[in-house]
Structure 1
Amino acid sequence: MTLSTAAWPAPTATEPLDAVVDVPGSKSLTNRYLVLAALASGPTELVRPLHSRDSELMVRALRALGVSVEPAGDDGADLLITPRPLRGPAHVDCGLAGSAPLGCGGTAPTSATCGPSTRPPASGSAPRPPPPAT
């Protein structure tokens, strides 16, 4: 098989464009917005946050600490976060997420702990490290 080295003519618009493009959310930004909303002085609605395993772990962590996080919007894809006083003790399942321990670490009561996930790794993913020795 031979690869062509000929230049490919990029498509060009023949008239002004008028379009709406849905850009997927960011996992890191979604988790940051969740923490900021949990620390806000009143309820916050996140419109079209990214729904991923890491953001679900953050939602569970915030709920474990006393924050209300509920589906919102017509299709339930938005999130309504209602801050409440943080409480502990709480065990937070961080899985392999980097944002959950970072986001909750600075806001959580000192009795909150971040532990390894009990969920088996997804097929093809890196194995989880063993839990720390106690």
Structure 2
Amino acid sequence: MLIRDLSRAAGVPASTIRYYERLGLLQAPQRSAAQYRLYGTADVERLRFIQKAKRLGLSLTEIGQLIALRAGGTAPCQQLKAMVSSHLQQLDQQIAELQALRQELATYHSNLAAQLTDDATAPTETFCQGTICGFIEQVSYDA
């Protein structure tokens, strides 16, 4: 099949297919006499694998490592387990940071709402002192 057919079959743009080839995630395809790229069903399966692995949060580098392990004759399951574990830890950290940010914003919003009770009335310059916005400029961060 041609690249446009592979693109349709795997739901991946042709430019992405060429990019994956450059990265080595897809093997260089055979060429027709007219130098068109020619692909097979194994390429569709490989692209679907890449898309599923990306959906799990794996980077293209990590996907390449899994592919290389399999190509070398080693099942990549243990490496995948380590990758997923690492991603879970990172995700848990991001969730904790986002929850802390949400709490900080909620507190900040409550303080603003208490000081700016009427949305129709613009705060006076005395009330909102600062170079640009005193409310933001008064925020302090503990580093």
Coarse TM-score class (shorter-chain normalised):
under 0.3
Greater strand fraction, Structure 1 or Structure 2: 1
Larger Rg: 2
Greater helix fraction, Structure 1 or Structure 2: 2
* TM-score in terms of structure 2 length: 0.24
Name the structure, 1 or 2, with higher relative contact order (CA <8 Å, separation 6+): 1
* TM-score in terms of structure 1 length: 0.25
